Amino acid sequence: MRFDYRVAAAGIAVALSAVAVMAYLRTNAPAAAALPPESAIAAPAADGTIELSDAQLKSISIEAAPQRQFPQERTAYGSIDFNEDRSVQVFPPYQGRIIEAAPVLGDTVTKGEILFTIESPDLIQAESTLIAAAGVLDLTTRALARAKDLYQKQALAEKDLEQAESDQQTAEGALRAARDAVRIFGKTDADIGRMIKLRQIDRSLIVPSPISGVVAARNAQPGLFVQPANPPAPYTIADLSTVWMNANVDEDDSALYRVGQEVRVSVPAFPGRVFTGKISRIATAVDPNIHRLLVRSEVPDPNHELRPGMFASFVISTGAPITATAAPLESVIREGDGTQTVWVTSDRRHFKQRVVKIGLQNEGYRQIVDGLQPGELIATKGALLLDNILNNVGSAS
């Protein structure tokens, strides 16, 4: 009989494996026996009640469900923007080429402060007409004086005197019209008088700021040819004493909002700060792409802290506060099927899971609409542990 080395090798391997298993069991057996009996998971009773050991109870906090007031509020998110009702695009009244532009982006300007000056052909024409009209009036006035002198000496016919008087009156009317035409360009009576006296035109047309505010946009550059109402405007001046907060709210809540409601606005740049404002406009249509409604609030900002483009949120009260049974957030467990549950106890040792219906949330508490009465004892800290015990026992079974 031949000796089979392969069979012998296989036998040796099996023997070694058996030895290793026995050694492992001897090494780990004491550790398994050392587990405290309190850590064993007791199976739930027939009605689903779980009894906890003294060791397990140390991980559980119990609290009587209180009654609390829950404000009826809605929160929406959006951004800060210029108040376009108080924002003005400044165009020149006449076409021309910019000579000088003083304020830069972000500068604060007052009403009447010069923004830019242009050399306007229309202004030059109006001033030339003014100087010419003043010269004609001076000429006709002297001619009338001579005609009156000659008429008194009977050296001039009456019709010639009347003609001189008519010419002088016509010249006066032309000068008044010329003065009014130049005044339209922003020239004062003193400016007009100086031009007439010096017989010299002023080529610069001054464009002042129509309001006090901040330079929100600047497209003015020396040499740029500009025209009335031809965008982009050389300057945009925004009154930042108030800003807009534009937010998109869920269409399901659209009936809760009204113009004039007070809002509390917060921005990440000022943690803990609240800016108050009022709803000034509600869009007439819902955006069909996102099914949301634009709600615009006007927020006073006298210190110019809220800058256009900032991310912001607002909170608005939509009704009187509701008094209801409450449960701490940590006591309410969301199950895999979407239901909300709490763990209720009557003797602080036996706990039973109960499905509840939740509502509003405020200051770390959930409103319990149904399923829990005020004063009932519930697990708060460690409620998730009870849930895990139930799930683990259910999985093991």
Tell me the two tokens of residue 150.
């000659």
Tell me the two tokens of residue 33.
């026996």
76-84+239-320 CATH pick, 2.40.30.170, 1.20.1260.10, 3.40.190.10, 3.40.250.10: 2.40.30.170
Give the largest CA-CA distance in the chain: 176
Phi, psi dihedrals of residue 330, rounded to the nearest 5°: -70, -15
pLDDT confidence of residue 43: 65
Domains 39-69+322-396 and 95-237 share a fold: no
pTM assigned to the model: 0.58
CA torsion through residues 101, 102, 106, 108, sign: negative
pLDDT confidence of residue 395: 52
Q: Which helix (H) or strand (E) holds 218?
A: strand 213-218
CATH topology of domain 39-69+322-396: 2.40.420
| Peptide bond connecting 232 to the previous residue in cis, omega within 30 degrees of 0 | yes
Beta-bridge partners for 351: 50, 345
Among candidate residues 327, 354, 335, the one with its CA nearest the CA of residue 50: 354
CA angle at residue 207 from 201 to 208, to 5 degrees? 125
Phi, psi dihedrals of residue 270, rounded to the nearest 5°: -130, 75
- Which residues contact residue 89 at a Cβ distance below 8 angstroms, ignoring those fewer than 6 apart? 231, 233, 235, 236
State the Cα–Cα distance between residues 263 and 244, nearest whole angstrom. 12
The one-letter amino acid code at 45 reads: A
How many Cα atoms are found within 13 Å in the side-chain-facing hemisphere of 16? 6
Q: What is the DSSP letter of 120?
A: -
> Listing from the earlier edge strand, what are the strands of the sheet with 96-101?
204-208, 114-119, 96-101, 225-226
Kindly give the confidence (pLDDT) of every residue in the chain, 397 residues in length, as a single tens digit, with 9 standing for 90 and above: 444 444 444 444 444 454 444 444 344 433 333 334 444 555 677 677 888 888 888 889 999 999 999 988 888 999 999 998 889 999 998 899 999 998 999 899 999 999 999 998 888 899 999 999 999 999 999 999 999 989 898 888 889 889 999 999 999 999 999 999 988 888 889 989 999 999 988 888 889 999 999 999 999 999 999 999 899 999 999 998 999 999 999 998 888 999 999 999 999 999 989 999 999 999 999 999 989 999 999 999 998 899 999 999 999 988 888 999 999 999 999 988 889 999 999 999 999 999 999 998 888 999 999 999 999 999 998 888 888 877 775 555 5
CATH topology of domain 95-237: Helix Hairpins (1.10.287)
pLDDT confidence of residue 40: 52
Q: How many residues does the chain have?
A: 397
Classify residue 124 as exposed, middle or buried by CB count within 10 Å of its CB (0-12, 13-18, 19+). middle
Where are the chain's structural domains?
5-34, 39-69+322-396, 76-84+239-320, 95-237
Residue carrying structure tokens 């020239």: 187
- Which residues contact residue 181 at a Cβ distance below 8 angstroms, ignoring those fewer than 6 apart? 126, 129, 130
**Beta-strand pair 350-362/67-82:** unpaired
- The phi-psi region of residue 12 (left if phi > 0; otherwise alpha if psi is between -120 and 50; otherwise beta) is alpha
